[in-house]
């Protein structure tokens, strides 16, 4: 597949470059794109920052190969290092390539255009396909296994927490009741089951199963746990003046990013203290003043940008040791069958 423009439209591309590029305007600058996808953002960063090199991480081997080909076609391969890994292996990736500090870290969360548009992955409820939903097809856990093996309380928790689904318990119950005589193998089967459960009067706009599909995708790929583990790793490896820029696409992702960044945006002192000691001053500077959203023009050009929330911070001073220890603890890996 060589017509990348038809399947890959980077969200808020110009704004992302505006946020990332100032940190890369010096010799030896290093950026990390934790969610390489088809390299749309990566290529823009490299073109805007001719003195920088970039490490591109992706857990999807197919996307990584296509991105590498695209970077090479743009004549940028000499400043690009592709790495096949999940982004919560962030620190290990840097150690493996011999990099101690980086000047920019970028994350474009959620599904890539490739994963959405390749129907055999089963991410979309719009096409009938096997219930796979793995970003890394080498991992053992699939959506089909989750639906076949998780008990009713576990399924309820997934649908309610990750999908914010009002009828989580009822959907989980119906799955458990039916799966022994009618196992769920395809996206069409799951969509039909959810359609039966949710009352007509309470259906959201679009396909009623969209929240269930989102919840399964997050569970299969460990997305929120990976995000919560990666953010502190990224902060601990930033150089002073370095920038952390993240695009989120649903409220749980954005809440995780916002909560993490807030830790460094506030003074670390009790309320009412008249003088803030230097070592208690904030260590992040807010680059976006909250979340940047796509405007009507962007949404019209790229409908997938409708839900984006873009946040960015700059590291203004060395992170205090107490926070470094806190971040290191939060970044410790967790055992996960799906590859977390």
Binding residues for S-adenosyl-L-methionine: 39-41, 58, 87, 108, 115
* Two tokens, residue 211: 């929240």
The sign of the dihedral angle between the CA atoms of 87, 91, 94, 99 is positive
Closest by CA to 12, choosing from 312, 314, 313, 299, is 299
Distance between CA 112 and CA 39 in Å, rounded?
A: 10
Classify each residue of 194-208 as buried b or exposed e, where b means 16 or more C-beta atoms within 10 Å of its C-beta. Answer: beebbeeeeeeeebb
Contact 2, 293 (CB under 8 A): no
Distance between CA 303 and CA 210 in Å, rounded?
A: 16
DSSP assigned state of 319: P
Distances (CA, A) of 196 to 61, 136, 145, 181: 37, 31, 22, 17
DSSP assigned state of 280: G
Q: Which residue has the tokens 């977390």?
A: 340
The residue length of the chain stands at: 340
The sign of the dihedral angle between the CA atoms of 84, 327, 249, 144 is positive
DSSP assigned state of 75: T
Beta bridge partners of 83: 57
List, as residue ranges, the binding site: 39-41, 58, 87, 108, 115
Distance between CA 294 and CA 11 in Å, rounded?
A: 8
Contact 232, 330 (CB under 8 A): yes
Closest by CA to 232, choosing from 329, 127, 141, 113, is 329
List, in order, residues 6 or more apart from 149 with CB less than 8 Å away.
Answer: none
């Amino acid at each position: 597949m060589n017509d990348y423009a038809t399947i890959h439209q980077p969200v808020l591309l110009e704004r992302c470059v505006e946020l990332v590029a100032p940190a890369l305007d010096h010799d030896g600058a290093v950026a990390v794109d934790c969610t390489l996808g088809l390299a749309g953002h990566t290529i823009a960063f490299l073109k805007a920052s001719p003195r920088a090199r970039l490490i591109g991480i992706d857990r999807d081997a197919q996307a990584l190969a296509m991105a590498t080909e695209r970077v090479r076609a743009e004549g940028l391969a000499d400043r690009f290092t592709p790495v096949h890994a999940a982004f919560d292996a962030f620190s290990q990736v840097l150690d493996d390539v011999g990099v101690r500090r980086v000047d920019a870290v970028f994350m474009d969360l959620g599904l890539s255009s490739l994963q959405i548009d390749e129907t055999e992955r089963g991410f979309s409820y719009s096409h009938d396909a096997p219930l796979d939903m793995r970003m890394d097809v080498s991992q053992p856990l699939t959506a089909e296994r989750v639906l076949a093996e998780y008990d009713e309380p576990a399924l309820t928790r997934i649908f309610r927490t990750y999908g914010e689904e009002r009828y989580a318990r009822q959907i989980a119950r119906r799955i458990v009741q039916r799966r022994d005589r009618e196992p769920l193998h395809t996206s069409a089967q799951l969509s039909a089951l959810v359609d039966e459960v949710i009352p007509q009067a309470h259906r959201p706009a679009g396909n009623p199963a969209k929240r269930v599909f989102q919840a399964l995708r997050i569970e299969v790929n460990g997305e929120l746990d990976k995000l919560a583990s990666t953010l502190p790793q990224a902060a601990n490896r930033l150089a002073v003046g370095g920038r952390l820029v993240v695009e989120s696409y649903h409220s749980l992702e954005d809440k995780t990013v916002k909560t993490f960044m807030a830790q460094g945006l506030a003074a670390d002192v009790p309320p009412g203290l008249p003088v803030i000691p230097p070592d208690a001053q904030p260590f992040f500077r807010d680059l976006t003043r909250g979340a940047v959203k796509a405007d009507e023009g962007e949404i019209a050009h790229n409908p997938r940008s409708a839900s984006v929330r873009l946040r960015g911070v700059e590291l203004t001073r060395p992170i205090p040791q107490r926070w470094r220890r806190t971040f290191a603890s939060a970044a410790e890996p967790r055992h996960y069958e799906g590859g977390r």
